[in-house]
Amino acid sequence: MNLRQTAIAIGLIGALGCGGVQAAEPADWSAVPATTVGLFYPGVSPIEWIVNGSAHGGWRGLKRGDSCLECHSEETGDMGKKIVSGAKIEPSPIKGKAAAIPVKVQAAHDGANLYLRFTWKQPPASGAPAMDKDNPVKVAFMLEANQVERADLSGCWETCHQDARTMPEGNKDKTKYVEGGSLASGVFYDLIQWRSNGEKHDGYIAEKRVMDGGTALVDAKGEKQGDTWTVTFTRKLTGGEGDVALASGQTVNFGMAIHDDSATGRFHHVSLGYRLGIDAEGDIQAVKQ
Binding residues vs ligand HEC (CB under 6 A) = 42, 45, 50, 56-58, 61-62, 66, 68, 71-72, 79, 82-83, 88, 154, 157, 272
Task: State the Cα–Cα distance between residues 219 and 235, nearest whole angstrom.
Answer: 7
Task: State the Cα–Cα distance between residues 202 and 218, nearest whole angstrom.
Answer: 9
Q: Closer CB to ligand HEC, residue 58 or residue 213? A: 58
Q: Closer CB to ligand HEC, residue 29 or residue 49? A: 49
Task: State the Cα–Cα distance between residues 28 and 144, nearest whole angstrom.
Answer: 28
CB of 45 to ligand HEC, least distance (A): 4
Q: Closer CB to ligand HEC, residue 117 or residue 150? A: 150
141 closest CA partner among 273, 277, 288: 273
CB of 95 to ligand HEC, least distance (A): 19
Q: Closer CB to ligand HEC, residue 64 or residue 172? A: 64
Non-local (6+) Cβ contacts of 167 within 8 A are 44, 46, 161, 266
CB of 65 to ligand HEC, least distance (A): 9
92-97: long-range pairs with CB below 8 Å, 24+: 92/168, 94/126, 94/128, 94/261, 94/267, 95/126, 95/127, 95/128, 96/124, 96/125, 96/126, 96/127, 96/128, 97/41, 97/126, 97/128, 97/261, 97/267
Q: Closer CB to ligand HEC, residue 147 or residue 289? A: 147
Task: State the Cα–Cα distance between residues 242 and 278, nearest whole angstrom.
Answer: 19
Q: Closer CB to ligand HEC, residue 97 or residue 109? A: 97
CB of 233 to ligand HEC, least distance (A): 24
CB of 57 to ligand HEC, least distance (A): 3
Q: Closer CB to ligand HEC, residue 136 or residue 273? A: 273
Task: State the Cα–Cα distance between residues 203 and 147, nearest whole angstrom.
Answer: 17
CB of 41 to ligand HEC, least distance (A): 9
* Angle at alpha carbon of residue 267, lines to 263 and 269, rounded to 5°: 95
CB of 149 to ligand HEC, least distance (A): 12
